[in-house]
Chains A and B, each alone.
Chain A
Amino acid sequence: MEAESKDKIVSIEKPELIAPPDWKPVIMGILCNWCSYAGSDLTGTSRTQYPPNIRIIRVPCSSRVDPWFIIKALQTTADGVLISGCHPGDCHYISGNYYARRRFLVTKELLKMVGFHEHRVQFSWVSAAEGAKFAQVVKKVTDDVVKLGPLHLYKKENFNR
């Protein structure tokens, strides 16, 4: 993890809210079973280090991801969301990720419009052989979310941290 700076940790969407100095981001990761989840498995077996802030949920395909999951994650404990699937053309279900990427773009733009920073929700294509890429992706997302600070928008009532 990054060393804590002496500056206060603020939430980029609400700069008036200051986080406790021991705040650590929580990233929710939704990985497709066939490519990204296997890829993350490879990262683990290769002993490649990546930040432990990500909590992984496995889905059969990236197109299983309903925008609702992203909204629920953002409204509960998550400060950031990462969704990862197979590369276009390599989907185990042939075309799932083609449908998914349409939904991802619209969801991302809508969340941006209502006031979420665009780095709160990020997407990647990670194949089963790309263990190193997965670690890079998680590191990038975690670094981005650390810079953005904790998320305070529209949290469900007892999830404010």
Chain B
Amino acid sequence: MDYSNQIRDIAAKLFAEGKIDVFVGYRMSGFDDNQVPVVITDPKETSVLVFTEKSVFNLTNYLKADHTRNKKVGVVVKGCDSRSLNLLLTESQVKRDKLYIVGVACEGVVDDKGNKMQNCMECFIPDAVVFDEMLGKPQGKKDYIVNADITELATKGLIERGKYFEEIFENCIRCNACRHSCPLCYCAKCCIDQETSTLYNGTNTSSSAFHALMTWSLHLAGRCVDCRNCEKACPSHLPLHLLHKQNEKVIYENFQNHLAGVEEGDRGAFYKYSLKDPDDFIM
């Protein structure tokens, strides 16, 4: 999968026609064969743009209001990235008429070691769902698959799961890289960090990690698109997808097969309801 040349041409053309002020894409890292995001403001720099199966980072993270405010932005999105973009558009964090979206029919991306990432193997919507231009041949939607780790965890007992997650929360250092890399976390000041709140816990202990990670994943539930920005950002390599995929599974199975960001105007699972939602767990 290599659309580097096409993207360079598109970016150059957009700058030349004055349609964009900024282009957000990928470039080679310069120190190994991995790629890092690049925010280009100078048309002469478009030659650094690349797009291959190593283009992993969800670039819509850079569309959150403070990075590209009031500018015309060109951005490259894969399937999952475009879903988070759909959500950002619906939640009024980005304006559609200020965006030029280059969608890609993604064939899956690989991690640092070159293995296809787990979320790509389970991907149900590889083609970009919102775009001004599509690169590659659309593959169409696939069936939704429940994450393999979640299925395995469900077979373990309460205490075993408790111990496993305790280790995860103990290894969290509260750096908040997960929150800052997530495209859908755009609150000016996160509720967890509000020092005036009685719910604030400003320490870096495992109870603080539990508080932060659980609240974060529950506020993201129904909106998470499984781009794995958070997991790649985590310096302790925590398997954060377990929390998000668990929520995604519960939402898919119970709320009319809802999946985040697929339809235009989607605002996430918690912004709508159905009279048929299950409530047999409520007394």
Contact = CB atoms under 8 A, between A and B. Distances in A.
B218 A68 contact: yes
Contacts, number: 125
A117 B282 contact: no
Nearest to B218: A67
A53 to B, nearest CB: 17
A92 interface: no
A88 interface: yes
Interface residues of B, number: 48
A18 interface: no
Interface string B64-97: 0000000000000000000000000000000000
Contacts of B218: 67-68, 103, 106-107, 110
Contact of A71 (B165, B214, B251): B214
A115 interface: yes
26 contacts: A15-B159, A67-B219, A68-B199, A71-B210, A72-B211, A75-B211, A99-B270, A101-B279, A102-B269, A104-B281, A106-B222, A106-B250, A106-B269, A109-B250, A110-B218, A110-B246, A110-B247, A114-B162, A114-B165, A114-B210, A117-B158, A154-B210, A154-B211, A155-B207, A157-B203, A157-B207
A14 interface: yes
Contacts of A101: 273, 277, 279, 282
Interface of A: 12-15, 67-68, 71-72, 75, 88, 95, 98-99, 101-111, 113-117, 122-125, 137, 140, 153-157
A156 B205 CA distance: 9
Interface of B: 150, 153-154, 158-159, 161-166, 169, 191, 199, 201, 203, 205-207, 210-211, 214-215, 217-219, 221-222, 242-243, 246-247, 250-251, 254-255, 269-271, 273-275, 277-279, 281-283
